[in-house]
Amino acid sequence: MKEDKASLPGIHATHMKCLDSATKAAEVISRLALIPLLTGYAPKQWKKGLDSMIPKKEGEWRPTKLRLILLLNAPFKHNNKLIGKAIMQYGEKKGILAPEQYGSRKDRSAIEHAINKRLTIDITRQAKINAIYIANDATSCYDRILLMMTYLTMRHYRVTKQAATSSSATLFEMEHKVRTTYGILDESYGGKDWTPKPHGIGQGNGYAPALWAGISSLMLKVMSDKGHGTKLRSPISKVFLHMAGYW
């Protein structure tokens, strides 16, 4: 975890990095973070989030140009990063991440995928193939993920039941406060009083990119199974390609 990334007031990533691994303090903090992963327990202090808005671009402070960030407890966020790492490792090892999925994956980049898109469009035009290209930005995609889908996706990628339960339960009963220019509001919303129950894992969650990669891979597989996408055969290698999108 990077030291310049904000978290909920209290223990910060910097504190965790400064600990000497041979000390009792490091052992205590490590065990306190490990217990939820092993038991499915959701600590009360983890069920607090702070909503803060930052500009998407420097100097842009209009409401439509702001990004909502959910600041989480640092040990909870660290645990979620471990879960996200496990998701990606299992997906790569078992080959269940869609080939169209480039986001959050090693040795793949947005630039390469942009080239793939450009080449597909060129081949489509040269071969006179009827095609429609749709550019779609999944707005606030992390905030729209169903928490039940969050749990099922983690289990699909072989995250333990206890770890998935701890993480999902923490988000499910999270009490939110809002940070403004004038400080943190005393009032809160959410917690056990959510009606109806919330969805969304929050921008800034440690496993958000990996979880979205896992979910979008399944979405791409469904689209491919239904026959959607572009079907091409390479003129030189004769390799057949069926791509449902560029993710």
Query: How many percent of the chain have pLDDT more than 90?
Result: 35
User: How confident is the model at residue 227, as a pLDDT?
Assistant: 87
Q: Give me the chain's average pLDDT, please.
A: 88
pLDDT digits (tens, 9 = 90+) for 8-61: 888 888 888 888 888 998 898 889 889 999 999 999 999 999 999 888 777 777
pLDDT digits (tens, 9 = 90+) for 199-243: 889 888 999 999 999 998 988 889 889 988 888 887 788 888 888
More confident residue, 13 or 193: 13
- pLDDT band for position 174 (cuts 50, 70, 90): very high
Q: How far apart are CA 246 and CA 49, in angstroms?
A: 33
List phi, psi (to 5°) of 127: -90, 0
User: How confident is the model at residue 77, as a pLDDT?
Assistant: 92
